[in-house]
Amino acid sequence: MLHSQRRQDAGEVHHDLLVPRPRRRAHEQLPVDDPAWPAGALECRSGTPHVEALMTPADTDQARPGDAERYRMLLHIGHKLAATLSEDDLYEEIYRETARALEASGFYIALHDQSRDLARVVFYADRGEVNRVDVAYRGSDSRVIRSRKAYLDNDDLRDGSLMVLGDDADVAVAAITAPMIHHGRVLGAISAQSYEPGVYTEDDLDLLQGIADIAAVAVANALQFTELERRRREAEKMEEIGRALTSELDPEMVLGKVVEAALELLDVDGASVWLTVGKDGFVCRVAESGGDIRLPKGLEWDIKGDIARTLLDERHPVVLDNVASSDVVPDHIREHLATGSAVGVPIEADGRVTGMLTAGSRQPRRFDALDTAVLQRLARQGSVALQNARLHASLHSLSITDPLTRLPNRRRLQIHLDHEVAAARRGRALAIAVFDIDNFKHYNDTFGHVQGDDILKAFADVLCHENRAMNLVARFGGDEFVSVLTDTNAEGVRAYVERVRARAVANDVLVKFGIHVSAGIAEFDPDKRATVNDLLRAADGDMYRDKAERPAVGRRAKSH
């Protein structure tokens, strides 16, 4: 177990850094028969089955290597560590090689992030029991990291800055600790510890520093290799995501894939796409959300203050280390996030911010520059894909929408009728109504095309107001309109026609020009009117009969 040891006048106080104590891996026997190890350099004690490769206080007096042996020893360690690029394997190899050369009943490796002054214990072993943990502390609190010098303490470890191995009843009392320095930068520290006092010498400290110097190069290489592998995997994933996004033409599916990618790439508990609402301020609404922290769609956030300035004006990422204590997140948003950390980046399109992409974790987490870079890249790809999908949807909508009345056009009507006729053949009721504005050409020629367009738009509004969500109203062409009524028989469509006529005679524009409409209806009949063309011809014929019987206004449309 790791401790931070501090002294008080009344005696010792040990503060556990790992609560609860992590589950330990089974004891591991460390091999001592490596043929590459310098012959005679060490005489490790045998007979202790699980830790026989660890130097003991008694062994250290008998196995002090000379300069030549020490050189060969370090050369051997250099070869061993240089061949290891996996971080986890490297940390264990550093431990194994240190334990061959020095008393290391306790041992740990800490890495230091200078930019954040954060040191993390990434590996430790206690009496041969190996653990991989992630315990963090302030790097500047460590004397070795702060001074960049190796340190020896043979008497109860009075240096309060040291992480000390042991449990509450038995704590290491002697230690040697050396910094790992690479290209002038402190990468971290290595500490070998003992449960017996007075076991280490200055030669041991020099040897550990030699090991630390070799380890620093190996750790730097391993970290670089890990980073290159991470970037390679990220690039492959980004390429895969890019292909998936650019091939997707449904805006909703694009948003879903962006969220899935954020969850995977950042390994977070939740991710959401927010899109701006309106033109004033910076009001965002959840358009898509996924993961364990799933925000309800439609949830709105009127973003103000520092967050708005960072995202909207500076267009930089926002990182919240602790959402629970943040005063910039409103309560109605925070209640869905609970505790933990969050990060957000702006989504931009055509030179303006159109939303934000956010990710969050339930547990406190420090999102770093790499995390925000990944999220920013994903936001850019998602924005382009979303614009493409929206453009495609817009073009598709234009291809099936009448530009004047904004009603579905004849092409859309045909697609819809094909679907509904197929359903009618399976037993679903179906009827249609065809409307024609009487003497429309006369009005158009008399009052002009602008007024004619107003008449068409006014009648389209009448039809829309009488239309149910499950039905369709379309402009068939010229001054003809078609209403498709599902689950409706002849009586139902007659009633619908009368409602349309009643609303038409109350419309200000239509009344102003004295507009009347003729109507015809047709009901699906598997024996007589079983195709789309059959229905349209029947309704059209009924409409012309109704028109021929005018000038009587309000005459009921006849049914076939």
Residues 164 and 259 in one domain: no
Q: Examine residue 460 and state whether it is found in any structural domain, yes or no.
A: yes
pTM of this structure: 0.52
Per DSSP, helices labelled H in 181-250 are 202-247
Q: Examine residue 557 and state whether it is found in any structural domain, yes or no.
A: no
Q: Compute the mean pLDDT over every residue in the chain, rounded to the nearest whole number.
A: 83
Dump pLDDT digits (tens) for 426-478: 999 999 999 999 999 988 888 898 999 999 999 999 999 998 878 999 999 99
Residue 74: which residues within 8 A CB-CB, separation 6 or more?
A: 207, 210, 211, 214
Q: Per this entry, what is the length of the chain?
A: 560
Q: Examine residue 82 and state whether it is found in any structural domain, yes or no.
A: yes
Q: Examine residue 69 and state whether it is found in any structural domain, yes or no.
A: yes
Residues 297 and 212 in one domain: no
Q: Are 1 and 166 in contact (CB under 8 A)?
A: yes
Please tell me the distance from the alpha carbon of residue 46 to that of residue 279, in angstroms, as a whole number. Answer: 78
So what's the pLDDT on residue 231?
A: 82
CATH code: domain of residue 464:
3.30.70.270
- Select the more confidently predicted residue: 510 or 244: 510
So what's the pLDDT on residue 227?
A: 84
Pairing of the two strands 352-361 and 270-276: antiparallel
In the structure, what pLDDT confidence band is assigned to residue 24 with cuts at 50, 70 and 90?
very low
Q: Examine residue 560 and state whether it is found in any structural domain, yes or no.
A: no
Please tell me the distance from the alpha carbon of residue 350 to that of residue 384, in angstroms, as a whole number. Answer: 10
Asked whether the predicted pLDDT for residue 510 surpasses 80, the reply is yes
Please tell me the distance from the alpha carbon of residue 162 to that of residue 154, in angstroms, as a whole number. Answer: 13
Residues 179 and 264 in one domain: no
- For 237-250, the DSSP string reads HHHHHHHHHHH---
Strand partners for 6: 13
So what's the pLDDT on residue 42?
A: 38
Query: Interhelix angle for 369-399 vs 251-266, to 10°?
Result: 170
Q: Which of 54, 101, 349 is nearest to 211 (CA)?
A: 101
Among the three residues 352, 374, 397, which one is the final residue of a domain in this structure?
Answer: 397
Residues 322 and 199 in one domain: no
Residues 18 and 64 in one domain: yes
Strand partners for 191: 108, 177
Q: What is the CA radius of gyration of the chain?
A: 39
Residues 360 and 286 in one domain: yes
- Select the more confidently predicted residue: 223 or 390: 223
So what's the pLDDT on residue 48?
A: 29
Asked whether the predicted pLDDT for residue 559 surpasses 60, the reply is no
3-state DSSP of 358-420: EEEECCCCCCCHHHHHHHHHHHHHHHHHHHHHHHHHHHHHHHCECCCCCCECHHHHHHHHHHH
Domain that holds residue 517: 410-548
- Select the more confidently predicted residue: 326 or 11: 326
Residues 18 and 142 in one domain: yes
Asked whether the predicted pLDDT for residue 4 surpasses 60, the reply is no
So what's the pLDDT on residue 495?
A: 95
Q: Are 482 and 520 in contact (CB under 8 A)?
A: no
Q: Worst-scoring range by mean pLDDT, 395-399, 406-410, 500-504, 524-528?
A: 395-399
SS3 state at 108: strand
Q: Examine residue 559 and state whether it is found in any structural domain, yes or no.
A: no
Asked whether the predicted pLDDT for residue 297 surpasses 80, the reply is yes
| Domains contained in the chain, number | 3
So what's the pLDDT on residue 158?
A: 66
Q: Which of 201, 148, 157, 200 is nearest to 179 (CA)?
A: 148
Count of C-beta atoms within a 10 Å radius of residue 174: 23
Residues 389 and 419 in one domain: no
> What average pLDDT score do residues 130-159 get?
83
C-alpha 321, offset from chain centre: 17
So what's the pLDDT on residue 2?
A: 64
- For 426-466, the DSSP string reads TT--EEEEEEEETTHHHHHHHH-HHHHHHHHHHHHHHHHHT
Asked whether the predicted pLDDT for residue 37 surpasses 60, the reply is no
So what's the pLDDT on residue 19?
A: 29
> What average pLDDT score do residues 135-158 get?
86
- Select the more confidently predicted residue: 30 or 253: 253
Asked whether the predicted pLDDT for residue 114 surpasses 50, the reply is yes
Query: Interhelix angle for 449-465 vs 490-504, to 10°?
Result: 130
Q: From residue 418, how far is each of 412, 430, 532 by CA, in Å?
A: 10, 12, 7
Asked whether the predicted pLDDT for residue 151 surpasses 70, the reply is yes
Please tell me the distance from the alpha carbon of residue 363 to that of residue 341, in angstroms, as a whole number. Answer: 7
So what's the pLDDT on residue 489?
A: 92
In the structure, what pLDDT confidence band is assigned to residue 159 with cuts at 50, 70 and 90?
low
Q: What angle do CA 115, 117, 123 make, to 5 degrees?
A: 110
Q: What angle do CA 366, 370, 372 make, to 5 degrees?
A: 75
Residues 136 and 215 in one domain: yes
Residues 205 and 327 in one domain: no
Among the three residues 170, 196, 226, which one is the final residue of a domain in this structure?
Answer: 226
Residues 386 and 424 in one domain: no
CATH code: domain of residue 170:
3.30.450.40
Residue written as tokens 């817009």? Answer: 394
To the nearest whole percent, how much of the chain has pLDDT over 70? 84
Residue 123: which residues within 8 A CB-CB, separation 6 or more?
A: 88, 91, 92, 94, 95, 108, 109, 130, 131, 132, 133
So what's the pLDDT on residue 1?
A: 62
Residues 423 and 332 in one domain: no
Asked whether the predicted pLDDT for residue 361 surpasses 80, the reply is yes
Q: Examine residue 236 and state whether it is found in any structural domain, yes or no.
A: no
**DSSP annotation of 166:** B
Among the three residues 226, 258, 275, which one is the final residue of a domain in this structure?
Answer: 226
So what's the pLDDT on residue 339?
A: 66
